[in-house]
Amino acid sequence: MWLIGLCRGAGAARPEPDNAIDQEALMARKITDACINCGACEPECPNEAISAGDEYYVIAAEKCDECEGKDEPACVAVCPVADEAIVKA
Ligand code: SF4
Ligand code: SF4
């Protein structure tokens, strides 16, 4: 029985996650290795967040706001493989 109480105590002492950082990370898209390097997304981004990377295109997370206010992110709208290549960061 005393073990249960000990576990509860340890859980309560665990520090809270940094929610500010978690929320910031959620407000961005990222491109995966499913990208076929077609380049269609780069000129469509209103924030100039997309550029050609070493192996495939990349999104600068600090510039991406997921096209806030639009029905669909501009990069997702033009990407031929968006379901796998452009995901939430
Ligand atoms: S979601 Fe919008 S802002 Fe973010 S990279 Fe795609 S086009 Fe740019
Ligand atoms: S539109 Fe899609 S496949 Fe084309 S470069 Fe952008 S992420 Fe890659």
Ligand 1 center to 33 CA (angstroms): 17
Note whether residue 5 is domain-resident.
Answer: no
Report pLDDT digits (tens) over 42-68.
999 999 999 999 999 999 999 999 999
The mean predicted confidence, pLDDT, of the chain is 83
What is the model's pTM? Answer: 0.77
Cβ-defined contacts of 80-85 (< 8 Å, 24+): 80/36, 80/38, 80/40, 81/34, 81/35, 81/36, 84/32, 84/34, 85/31, 85/32, 85/34, 85/35, 85/36, 85/56
8, 53 in Cβ contact below 8 A? no
Note whether residue 8 is domain-resident.
Answer: no
Number of structural domains the chain divides into: 1
Ligand 2 center to 43 CA (angstroms): 11
- If one residue of 29, 81, 87 were mutated to test the ligand 2 pocket, choosing by the most ligand atoms within 8 A of its CB, it would be 81
Note whether residue 72 is domain-resident.
Answer: yes
CB of 57 within 6 A of ligand 1: the answer is no
Read off the amino acid at residue 19.
N
Element (H, E) at 50: strand 50-51
Note whether residue 22 is domain-resident.
Answer: no
Looking at residue 59, its pLDDT comes to 98
CB of 37 within 6 A of ligand 2: the answer is yes
